[in-house]
Chain A
């Protein structure tokens, strides 16, 4: 009946030496105990309110006990609220982590830093009702958690940031800079770092630090290519600075771009094989893309220069595969037009180069093979995206057409249509025109169908492949064989047709492969590719 179970009373009784407490007594005491606790809590809340706090501390409970002429509970006094931990396995059971402290350690420990003395700073919260944009004021319309700025974090340095004077960096900003760089270098995964990123992305008055930050990033990237976590932290720092609406980053782009691009197309990033440098490359690519998008119209040579860098990396067969990966990703992120201009024409020769790397018979090195697959994936992605864009562009220009297929494969189509029919009906409509366009380009419009011959096989293995993408295992080899079969078939067909069409055919085929293989990863992409088969054609097969 009471929320205090009578077992609690018994335990308390035992703790003060009463072992033979009768159950009746416990039963009667339990509700009274609850009432007394509530009473004390009510008083403690009053004390808390009058101390102008909204968090109850042990002090409040002590004052409440004092009000009732009771002895305070010793050992919990702290100016900070107690940190409760949740007991594992219990939803609402909490405890205070009370570690044993060795007396010796306590004595030998150096004296802690004296706490800083209380001080007051003043600033204008508003001038005639308008809040000035100074660092002391909360950023306008910022989410609440951002208000906990990192400037005042850690050991509570009395920071008073003045509006900066040209080329003079205040002591406070210097402290801020030191703090942030220290966090980047030492604790890139910690919560303070995350807060620091938020602060960088929102705080006003950081502008004088930007040249220092860009310098810092450039130096650190150059020196620490082996340290993946650090690079990642640096890139996140860059992203935060880019996000900050109060900073004019344009002036420092020339300094910032090289390190970012390095992170995209560096030959070797990270020390161990297990380091996931692909992720860093993707992240940096996004940064590059966003910079180009934002400042491309202001700096006309920005994007061409970036593109040139990527293209060099892509077309140079001596470069390592990760570099190619970065370059392809980079070009793809800059827009489908660039993919069409630079990747599609080079697709066939490139695939010829890439293919042996992907086959277990020819490339014994597991790592290399995996890299090749990554590059292949990036390529698929880029090409597919490009095709998708084009499909959208042309969907309104051309009308659907019917054509006979030279190599129909009914089986595959049935499986296909029964699966996808309903969902892709209208998508099909949309996707039809590009094919028509294709047909006008050359006689290779039929090509997509040939890959359908392996449709059934592929579907069976698609699921397996997607799981294998991340973690290489024995399954890869069997997969690779299938793919290579597929590739050779594609090339056979391509050989019968003109050069242009064979390139496109390759692209188409790859797209469809991708649609099948990566369906789980690129859901939208996959579906749109699957529906590349015109409805009219499907009708013929059926």
Chain B
């Protein structure tokens, strides 16, 4: 019996593996040596048999996965949610294995059979993977590539782990076992399974980058405020009235000194964080210590790593005046919101920005134009509009034909692609705009003219932001980099590379030493401006990140994504404090109030929401130990009349400005 059968297995095996030559020879030899056959050992025969069965094509993935799936769903409730986490990585790797082996038909079938299971959690990933239909696509596609190369980290308790292994061994699912061994990295924790609450860290999607992220997040970070800030000076002024003028005088001196040093110090100053730390310890002058004693906010002070620009005295005076008149906001004292509605945009408005005092509003349009409205003039413009506008046009050749002198805005033309972002300098005399033509342009609002065109990015520049002190700005682009620029150089000062996909938004830290970038790879990164290194990776969002905001005390960061989720991060620990759930569509804009007690968010669902920051951060930290993720308290929802909210800005007096384009078709 045996020999024929064995021969059958062997031929089957050879056929399967495509060894046609060998098969032929084997057949021949088998025919000739039929008589004096060497008896194969029965267990070897069995092995070969099982091997050839195992290799029985793509069906084994399907079978193996469906068996694992049904087993998981029947498992004990206590451990079920942990075991369910295993399914997703197994699923996508089964699929990719099938594709890689060229069983495209089966891969598609497999994918469609089981995709529903994961749609809720991983819809976007699935949509990306769905299109992968040939081995070359796997190679080509960034996302698939990174999945193949990295491992999934799954937190799982000891018992669940044992259960899983037992099941896999007892059912002989070597295929699945192989996938699990190859692609999943179990973090087995002793004791009880983790609570059922959806912990974003339980399954990390970014694979190996998670390790890197963890490592990166160990780095030290100085989230404190800049020493000698205007706010600080104001506090000083109010507390020590007699000393105030002297203090300000000193401050100005210090600045001018710094300014003189700037050209020399360009690369030298603050070369490392440690040095800054030393600086801080060493250079704590009497003035600074005085300030620290008197400050209300407990935020630590740090030295700027960049040479700071000087602020003109009159501007400084007006800022100080604003600070004195600031309204204190809290959960019981909500801000007033002034809303600027863009009319007749014909779906062309792609961004808008509001100056720090709310008097200027800029709109970037898909027809490459940038338009700036002076809201203060707009109010009084009814009668004296004609002369006003004629003056404007005579000053500005770029404004083109003014349509009968009735135009209410200043038109800036120069870009050759949709304008995706605009940013006012702190004082409001400059505007930066970034465009799909991969350039950034600097405009002057006093001369109504283009001053500089910054070229450096290779692809559309999605976002540009002035630093809180002006002079420096950061940009982010489709070319997966973020760049730091200064106004006076046409080359970037730093290039931050590391994101795996487009860098969609950028935001400066309050102390100007860091920038945060949000990306389509669903992570937010924090970069050291001086060294250009990535110092934090924040993982947790489920879709592309659209907006970022830094709290004024420099300790927290909020990020909003495409699904309407807002996450509040603690910069020092790199952990998510709490997800803020409430918006139903893209969060276009986020803004902290000036003392950091209220967070405002503007969304495509036509509403502005106000969130209580203080309770959220405190409560969540209190509840951190109990393991219960608290939800941030939503203070108020302000619906607009079919107007998605594009931009938000708290003025220095804590008046909230919002802007949006009226959507005709809703």
Contacts and interface: CB of A to CB of B under 8 A. Distances in A.
Interface of A: 1-2, 31-32, 34-35, 37-39, 42, 46-47, 49-54, 57, 59, 63, 66-67, 79-81, 115-131, 136-138, 145, 147-149, 152-153, 156, 158
Interface in B299-357: 333-351
Contacts of B462: 50
A118 B343 contact: yes
A149 B345 contact: no
A292 B331 CA distance: 46
Given A120-B373, A120-B375, A126-B638, A51 B361 contact: no
Contacts of B644: 52, 54
B459 interface: yes
B262 interface: no
Nearest to A43: B478
Given A52-B646, A148-B666, A120 B641 contact: no
A31 B373 CA distance: 50
5 contacts: A1-B108, A122-B341, A124-B338, A125-B337, A131-B638
Contact of A80 (B347, B350, B409): B347
Contacts of A49: 504, 544, 546, 562, 586
Given A50-B420, A120-B361, A125-B337, A1 B105 contact: yes
Shortest 10 CB-CB contacts between residues of A and residues of B: A129-B334, A31-B133, A38-B131, A51-B350, A125-B339, A125-B337, A126-B337, A1-B105, A116-B344, A79-B347
Contact of A121 (B335, B341, B363): B341
B334 A128 contact: yes
B610 A129 contact: yes
B399 to A, nearest CB: 13
A54 B604 contact: yes
A114 to B, nearest CB: 9
Contacts of B459: 67
B585 interface: yes
A118 B344 contact: yes
Given A54-B585, A123-B339, A67 B478 contact: yes
A136 to B, nearest CB: 6
Interface string B121-134: 00000011011111
Nearest to A131: B638
A158 B375 contact: no
B145 interface: no
B344 A115 contact: yes
Given A50-B462, A147-B639, A119 B344 contact: yes
B338 to A, nearest CB: 6
Contacts of A121: 340-341, 343
B337 A124 contact: yes
Nearest to A54: B604
A107 B99 CA distance: 55
B147 interface: no
Contacts of B336: 124, 126-129
Contact of B408 (A2, A37, A38, A119): A119
B104 interface: yes
Contacts of B562: 49
Nearest to B336: A127
B640 A125 contact: yes
A51 B346 CA distance: 13
Interface in B476-516: 478, 502, 504
B610 to A, nearest CB: 7
A117 B604 contact: no
Interface stretch (B88-96, B283-291, B657-665): B657-665
B120 to A, nearest CB: 20
Interface of B: 104-105, 108, 127-128, 130-134, 137, 333-351, 361, 363, 365-366, 371, 373, 375, 378, 403, 407-409, 417-418, 420, 436, 459-460, 462, 478, 502, 504, 520, 544, 546, 562, 585-586, 588, 604, 606, 608, 610, 635-636, 638-642, 644, 646, 658, 662, 664-666
B563 to A, nearest CB: 12
A363 to B, nearest CB: 55
B342 A120 contact: yes
B370 to A, nearest CB: 12
Given A52-B350, A129-B636, A156 B338 contact: no
A128 B335 contact: yes
Contacts of B436: 47, 63, 66
Contacts of B333: 128-129
Contacts of B418: 47, 51, 63
A364 to B, nearest CB: 57
B585 A120 contact: no
A46 B339 contact: no
Contacts of B105: 1
A79 B346 contact: yes
Contacts of A50: 350-351, 420, 460, 462, 504
Contact of B131 (A34, A66, A125): A34
A14 to B, nearest CB: 23
Nearest to B140: A35
A291 B482 CA distance: 66
Contacts of B586: 49, 52, 54
Nearest to B502: A46
| Residue of B131, B342, B546, B638 with most chain A CB atoms under a 10 A cut-off | B131
Contacts of B378: 120, 122
Contacts of A42: 128
Contacts of B639: 137-138, 147
A1 B104 contact: yes
A37 B128 CA distance: 11
A486 to B, nearest CB: 58
B340 A39 contact: no
Contacts of A138: 606, 639-642
A32 B133 contact: yes
Contacts of A156: 343-344, 664
Given A51-B366, A121-B343, A35 B132 contact: yes
| Residue of A53, A122, A127 with most chain B CB atoms under a 10 A cut-off | A122
A115 B666 CA distance: 19
A98 B327 CA distance: 57
A149 B347 contact: no
Contacts of A149: 641-642
Contacts of A117: 344, 403, 407
B335 A147 contact: no
Nearest to B108: A1
A117 B366 CA distance: 15
Given A67-B459, A117-B344, A138-B639, A125 B338 contact: yes
A115 B346 contact: yes
Contact of B133 (A34, A59, A125, A136): A34
A153 B403 CA distance: 25
Nearest to A115: B346
A67 to B, nearest CB: 7
A35 B665 contact: no
Contacts of A122: 338-341, 375, 378
A158 B343 contact: yes
Given A53-B347, A54-B604, A119-B343, A152 B662 contact: yes
A121 B635 CA distance: 26
Contacts of B344: 115-119, 156, 158
Contacts of B338: 122-125
Contacts of A80: 346-347, 665
A66 B544 CA distance: 21
Given A32-B133, A67-B478, A79-B366, 9 more contacts: A1-B108, A31-B133, A35-B134, A51-B350, A117-B407, A118-B346, A120-B375, A122-B378, A127-B336
A42 B409 CA distance: 35
Contacts of B104: 1-2, 31
Contacts of A81: 665
| Residue of A51, A54, A117, A148 with most chain B CB atoms under a 10 A cut-off | A51
A129 B418 CA distance: 35
Nearest to B103: A1
